[in-house]
Amino acid sequence: MPSELTEIQLSELGKQLEMDFQRLREEIRQELLASDNEQYIEVAGQVHDREEESVADLLVDVNLAVIDKHIRAVEDTEAALVRLKRGEYGTCPDCGGDIPYERLKAYPVAKRCQQCQTRYEQTHARSDHHTL
């Protein structure tokens, strides 16, 4: 079932996805350059006991978690761009209905309509749920 989005809306959303994709890639690059273990080395050089070593490890883990979050956002954006190219963008894969333009405007990587997304979240465990 083709999406009810107009060509203008698809073009606008496609441009937004491309800009988001480039921005996220640059954020990942900047995070990797900034982290490059410099913080860990700096903190580890000041470590005098196990507690301070744990703090140094935690700082590295937090930086990696931020990078991981950006990578998942890039993957979601890339998947949305693929759906756009295939003509599947804006169509919910679960019910086959249209994803409203307003939802896509607010969240361009949306894969499902709101009703199906709510159902999905209630029935699937979050694989990206992290605890410290």
pLDDT at 3: 61
Q: Where are the domains of the chain?
A: 7-123
Contact in structure between 113 and 107 (CB atoms under 8 Å) = no
The Cα 37–Cα 67 span in angstroms is 13
pLDDT in tens, 50-60: 665 565 566 66
Average pLDDT of the residues in 70-91: 95
pTM of the model: 0.72
- Could you tell me which CATH number the domain at 7-123 has? 1.20.120.910
User: CB–CB of 98/3 below 8 Å?
Assistant: yes
